[in-house]
Structure 1
């Protein structure tokens, strides 16, 4: 009997870990195909080969066409695929996790479903933003107030540093050009940051919708994680682009954020932060749980091994 046609699926150990990947790549007005284990981007200038297994996210802009084989490779490599609009908006899809274990997802769901567990993770997220300060006794209302003050102070500091006039965050998600230069750059920068955060979340097998600070949206956890680094990466990049008088705000912002993500080793930090938030008692050097094992849930004890029959041989089946 012939086996399944096509390339064999990759195994977790064959993939580059999320912490070792580079940043994201943005493509537009080209055809994306596959050549072996690399993507190819073809336009009227020629062909570029892209090592997909080393990329966290592939952002597909206007005018892109992608083949079935290219999507198969992206999905198997665990990279996140994001179809974006003219100025880098809208999220549509992602690949399967790099690891096959649901350990992090299980921990996320347990914490999310418990009021105390959810509050503990939320406080830990705020603690990352306020190093050296004790957030363990603060209420969510107090934490939100302090975070709002921190972000407003960050805007003012970078406005003063760059000489960019700043009043407030003001933008229309459906009309990129309706806001001023710095708000356009902020929209582009945060979109890139959301893509990176979503790529790591998907690679680790977590749910992008189970947030601890944000809630009610299919990307709530993405916004939670991205906000950990927004003041460090997105805001300074946006003010730098606005101060430079860029003629291509969206493109120049993407490139500046991409460089910051690489320089700050953001994918590594993001993966480590998610693990420490969801599994605070786990060691920092634990592997990314590469085992490709499925268990059967049992309400009376530990999970059972799958792939075998548990029917009693001397009894008639209950069905």
Structure 2
């Protein structure tokens, strides 16, 4: 974590949360984006903790209604009703706080300005001066809502989280926030073509050699000499799927070959194909193939 970054356990202490699982985007060279789930069913009543001034924003997706919320920003106080599914944005330079007096459940995205501008630079767009974030104003933002929910299971199962997936979704959130709330303007349109055959072979070979999923979007982009955002678009154009989806498909194809070796257990197949455990393997395999690994193996005989 950066010196001033507030996420994970640090954010959990500020909000006195019962839980604070976190995932961090590792694809940005000089910045980071983090997602934290916070929840308390029986909170200690009182004002939330103070956050050290930080040139960053917190984008919050609310997962539970929180009526009659009392929010504080510097010397301003406002009461408002919070509804599940709403998005709020907080400027961490202004020490946002609120009164904790009832159960709550939220997802928080920690997005430094440096991350917004790194995404803008990769997208060949104008820098982001600030995000629009008036105190207590809710946004009905289906993009944040759907992207946030897509990460929720990954946050809850960090050992199974695929870093490519985490990088891809958190960068998409930062890009959306910069455009929708920061007025970011694209300077020119990237060419719509995909990767060259040489680039595609190089990156696919790299993925096959790193099936454990610890590689990052930036590492794959570097293999092609492209920015992460440009690479992600070009890869999808060439293959029809995201790098994360391609990785999962390659894991499954590897698993299929291993399942034909009768002496290997499902746990051994899962580990060799890059899955964290047999349960994770079974879920991914069934989502792609349509049946469990055991059923697929039995059909071979």
RCO greater where, 1 or 2, for CA within 8 Å and sep 6 or more? Answer: 1
- TM-score, normalising length from structure 2? 0.25
- TM-score, normalising length from structure 1? 0.24
Q: Indicate the structure with greater strand content.
A: 2
